Amino acid sequence: MDLKVRHSLNELWASSPLASLNAAYIEQMYDDYLQNPDSVSEKWRTLFDQLPRINADTEEVSHTGIKDIFKSLGKSAGKHQTKQSVASIDSMAHDARQVHVLQLINAYRFLGHLKADTDPLEQNTVGEVKELSLANHQLSSADLDTVFNTGSLVGPDTASLREIHEILQSTYCRSIGAEYMHLTCTEEKRWIQNYLESIRGKPDFSNETRMDLLHQLIAGEHFEKYLHTRYVGQKRFSLEGGESLLSMLREIIHRSGSRHQIKEIDIGMAHRGRLNVLVNIMGKTSADLFMEFEGKKENSHNRTGDVKYHMGFSSNLKTAGGPVHVAMAFNPSHLEIVAPVVEGSVRARQDHRKDHAGKEVLPVLIHGDAAFAGQGVVMETFNMSQSRGYSTKGTVHIVINNQIGFTSSNQEDTRSTLYCTDVAKMVSAPIFHVNGDDPEAVLYVTQLALDYRMAFSRDVVIDMICYRQHGHSEADEPMATQPMMYTRIRNKPTVLDKYFQHCLKLNLITEEEYQEKIKNYLAALHVGKHVVYEFIPDNHEHSPFIEAWHKYNNHDYDPMAVTAISEETFKKLGHELLALPENFPVHRSVKKILDARLRMAVGEIPVDWGFAENMAYISLMREGYNVRLSGQDSARGTFFHRHATLLNQENGDTYVPLRNLENCDSNFLVINSLLSEEAVLAFEYGYAITDPDTLTIWEAQFGDFANNAQVVIDQFISAGEQKWNQHCGLVMFLPHGLEGQGPEHSSARLERYLQLCAQNNMQVCIPTAASQIFHLLRRQMLMQCRVPLIIMTPKSLLRHPDASSPLEKFTDGQFNTVIGETVLKDDDKIKRIILCSGKVYYDLFDKRQEEGLEDIAIIRIEQLYPFPAKELKEQIARYKNADTFVWCQEEPRNQGAWFSSQHHMRSAIGKKYYLSYAGRPSLAAPAVGTMSMHKQQQTLLVDKALGLIQKTVKQNG
């Protein structure tokens, strides 16, 4: 409802004689009526019918109308008063109890979950909820047999208060506690209401379904028990206490395939129950798992590997609607960080299928209760859920809420919110708390959650409240820290015990048949078979990316690629890139840049960084690759250099040249990201590990902000290939350079990346010329392997004239890992060699020219890892008379490349010579806080590298 209208409604209501009734309730009813007149009772419909419909044009009129109605409520004559309305209002006004009954219904919808029977340990600590009592609504047991209108409650139009109360109790206070009244969309609320109220808390499943549920529980419990006795004391993070998870997942897969025509499901989950899910849901053979327990599993591709409960898996599972490809993402120990990785992977799958409505690929995230409430990345991931560049059109979240995190129990230690799921309310997601000991309620809620996601393309949360049968891992003794909780757990029957008793009572199974079922399951497990009958055993893969990865999977690091393009192509692409729609006035500073680019495109002036970067994108797109670039300011470029998106200064329209290429199937997406580093970088990693043919780039606004995403760098980007044989061509743009802007905004922490480098796990480059970034980006896609690429990108250098490159550098050549001396031609004169990386090269160069020094060669190392030893040696070998070698860096001595790379440089120089250091001294912060001190330091280190300081000292001496 329009806020202004709401406001006047409230005012009018407050002054009416019925002010004691619930204004919010009337408002809600009026809202509902506007959406669907049949959703309110006849009396209210008659009343509201007399109001002109509220819309922008008739707002004034409707005010008057409402006023009249309210006057009529007070029995004062009004303009639109009719006999009929007075009669209906009179009856309602006189029977305020009717309104109270409606308020009671509303109270249950809002707060029934507080009294729901969702905790299998029955420790509910909420206490009395007075809003749910009859007395709170001025009703009493004397009213129980009075018949009332049921309003929008699903079911009969009228019922006694007793019946209404029973319906409410069974719908909202049994095994399902539904939180959905916080949703902003009335249609969604109504939809959920219908779903819940139509069964009144008692889902009615077929006996076949019940036997399926029993089978899943047998598998869940006996899988764990089997491992417990076969591998005593080994960590497996048992699912026991939360076995209903299996039927949830199985239902999601089957219903997705059969009802919703989903083709792929991507699951992210932590340690708890992972092995159980892999074997009992996804069809990993128990033989494979046993080999992992016994340490006999061959480590594929000679990688260093990971523990068994972090391994991913994928399989194809039969459903009535066709096969569904199910992938479980590899994940590190670090809880919740896999969530955005899965989202990125799903987005890549959706983009590839052109599934822009999210109808074919579904993300499912399984969380622990403590981690869900505790980890900030959960909030960041929710924040992505409806955003342009990151939405996957809704995720099904499942919380295995065993009410404990390691040894921290829920209420006191792990959070400040009532539920561990409260964070999900930020995106208006419905949350269904469900008792894990009631498998049928769990199943119903699963169907509801999935159907909701498919109907509304939004996130939904199932909070399965359960318990943890053992300690955090099998080695822990939980009685030591949670004696009360574990006394309850030890004295209660398991989920399986309870459900078997239920089935026994219904005569669905005998004790003997039950024992037989257990025996058969264990026999299949023991011999190492697939225990999932839906598993499609042939190797036919249904993921569209399997083919795409074939090209890259078995290649060791090999950066060879032809990256130059012909002059004709360059000019043609340049013009394509610069073609604007007619009458598209851009800002004058942008126009200046675009005009210069027109001259660059024909070779009139050297090509600058911004244009070179855009030319890399368009040339790759014309060769069939997609480009996805995200970062906090990426469309324009933080340093005003990129302008991938152009803005019409007169009407605010945007125009993205790379999205408007004629006859081009490749996608280009540039996104100004959310203000997050951790989730966004993880998302882009997920995208890059899934789609090898999209150049996926994450750009930090300033390089050091990437430290907010350190877990993604440490746990995935640098180690993913060795742990999981997971290849990734992700590019990180990290603006780097000490330019006097203070301790932050200066250093991208080059040293951190170099310290992580080993086994050709990633490439770390510092290109210093426009042609270098062009070739480097093209190399990343054209080479026959996928390895992360970390680029220290420039800031001031973006506009340095000497960093621009002539056209021939694009039509000939490649990315040079080392750039030798470019000006001094007489190699024999060279006595001193300075090695450096990055923008300090230009400072050294300028000062050398200024001083007229002709015996110093400056060699740039543009790729620090994998270290270009051969290329560097070749350059050094040119200078037979050189006897002084200096490494110059602008970063402090304890930072930059010095510690990680000096051994490579020393080995290129040879044992005969010493490599000295010219740079800032060791510093706690990456840079100083004042420009004057910065300049002083910079001058000193440049002078030192060029040998000017020693000379000064000698002359003075």
- Chain contacts with ligand TPP (rule: CB under 6 A): 272, 333-335, 368-371, 400, 402, 404-406, 468, 472
Q: Which residue has the tokens 């008692």?
A: 202
Q: Which is nearer to ligand TPP, 236 or 272 (CB)?
A: 272
Please report how close the Cβ of residue 396 comes to ligand TPP at its closest, in angstroms: 18
Q: Which is nearer to ligand TPP, 468 or 775 (CB)?
A: 468
Q: Which is nearer to ligand TPP, 101 or 404 (CB)?
A: 404
Q: Which amino acid is at 705?
A: F
Please report how close the Cβ of residue 472 comes to ligand TPP at its closest, in angstroms: 6
Q: Which is nearer to ligand TPP, 78 or 312 (CB)?
A: 312
Please report how close the Cβ of residue 283 comes to ligand TPP at its closest, in angstroms: 23
Q: Which is nearer to ligand TPP, 28 or 410 (CB)?
A: 410
- Position closest to ligand TPP via CB: 368
CA-to-CA separations, 535 to 252, 318, 319, 642, 739, in angstroms, rounded: 15, 6, 10, 49, 59
Please report how close the Cβ of residue 235 comes to ligand TPP at its closest, in angstroms: 11
Please answer whether residues 694 and 736 qualify as being in contact, where contact means their C-beta atoms are separated by less than 8 angstroms: no
Burial (0-12, 13-18, 19+ Cβ within 10 Å), 314: buried
Please report how close the Cβ of residue 246 comes to ligand TPP at its closest, in angstroms: 15
Q: Which is nearer to ligand TPP, 149 or 402 (CB)?
A: 402
Q: Which residues of 617-636 are buried (b: 16+ CB within 10 A; e: fewer)?
A: bbbbbbeebbbbbbbbebbb
Please report how close the Cβ of residue 402 comes to ligand TPP at its closest, in angstroms: 5
User: How do beta strands 832-836 and 818-819 pair?
Assistant: unpaired
- Cβ of 218: how many Cβ atoms within 10 Å? 22
User: How do beta strands 668-672 and 654-655 pair?
Assistant: unpaired
Please report how close the Cβ of residue 394 comes to ligand TPP at its closest, in angstroms: 23
Q: Which is nearer to ligand TPP, 489 or 941 (CB)?
A: 489
Please report how close the Cβ of residue 272 comes to ligand TPP at its closest, in angstroms: 3
Q: Which is nearer to ligand TPP, 143 or 369 (CB)?
A: 369
Q: Which is nearer to ligand TPP, 51 or 339 (CB)?
A: 339
- Residues ≥6 apart with Cβ < 8 Å to 731: 695, 696, 697, 698, 777, 780, 788, 789, 790, 791
Structure tokens belonging to residue 791 = 């680029």
Please report how close the Cβ of residue 333 comes to ligand TPP at its closest, in angstroms: 4
What are the backbone dihedrals phi and psi of residue 619, each rounded to the nearest 5 degrees, phi first?
Answer: -70, -40
Please report how close the Cβ of residue 406 comes to ligand TPP at its closest, in angstroms: 4
- Cβ of 515: how many Cβ atoms within 10 Å? 10
Please report how close the Cβ of residue 294 comes to ligand TPP at its closest, in angstroms: 24
Please report how close the Cβ of residue 463 comes to ligand TPP at its closest, in angstroms: 12
Question: Can you tell me the distance from the alpha carbon of 898 to that of 906, in angstroms, rounded to the nearest whole number?
Answer: 11
Please report how close the Cβ of residue 90 comes to ligand TPP at its closest, in angstroms: 56
Please report how close the Cβ of residue 939 comes to ligand TPP at its closest, in angstroms: 44
Q: Which is nearer to ligand TPP, 682 or 697 (CB)?
A: 682
3-state secondary structure (DSSP) of residue 924: coil
Q: Which is nearer to ligand TPP, 368 or 892 (CB)?
A: 368
Q: Which is nearer to ligand TPP, 272 or 839 (CB)?
A: 272
Among 171, 173, 190, residue whose Cα is nearest residue 181: 190
Q: Which is nearer to ligand TPP, 104 or 371 (CB)?
A: 371
The DSSP result for 504-547, as a single string, is HHTTS--HHHHHHHHHHHHHHHHTT----TTB--S-----THHH
Please report how close the Cβ of residue 477 comes to ligand TPP at its closest, in angstroms: 16
Among 563, 520, 557, residue whose Cα is nearest residue 815: 563
Which long-range contacts (C-beta less than 8 Å, at least 24 apart) are formed by 819-823?
819/768, 819/769, 819/772, 819/859, 819/860, 819/862, 820/857, 820/859, 820/875, 820/878, 821/857, 821/858, 821/859, 821/875, 821/878, 823/849
Q: Which is nearer to ligand TPP, 405 or 947 (CB)?
A: 405
Q: Which is nearer to ligand TPP, 334 or 659 (CB)?
A: 334
CA-to-CA separations, 909 to 766, 861, 876, in angstroms, rounded: 21, 14, 7
3-state secondary structure (DSSP) of residue 246: helix
Please answer whether residues 54 and 62 qualify as being in contact, where contact means their C-beta atoms are separated by less than 8 angstroms: yes
Q: Which residue has the tokens 């008793």?
A: 501
How many CA atoms lie within 13 Å of 880's alpha carbon, on the beta-carbon side?
A: 2
Please report how close the Cβ of residue 511 comes to ligand TPP at its closest, in angstroms: 33
Question: Can you tell me the distance from the alpha carbon of 288 to that of 296, in angstroms, rounded to the nearest whole number?
Answer: 9
Q: Which residues of 337-358 are buried (b: 16+ CB within 10 A; e: fewer)?
A: bbbbbbbbbbbbbbbbeebeeb
Q: Which is nearer to ligand TPP, 402 or 772 (CB)?
A: 402
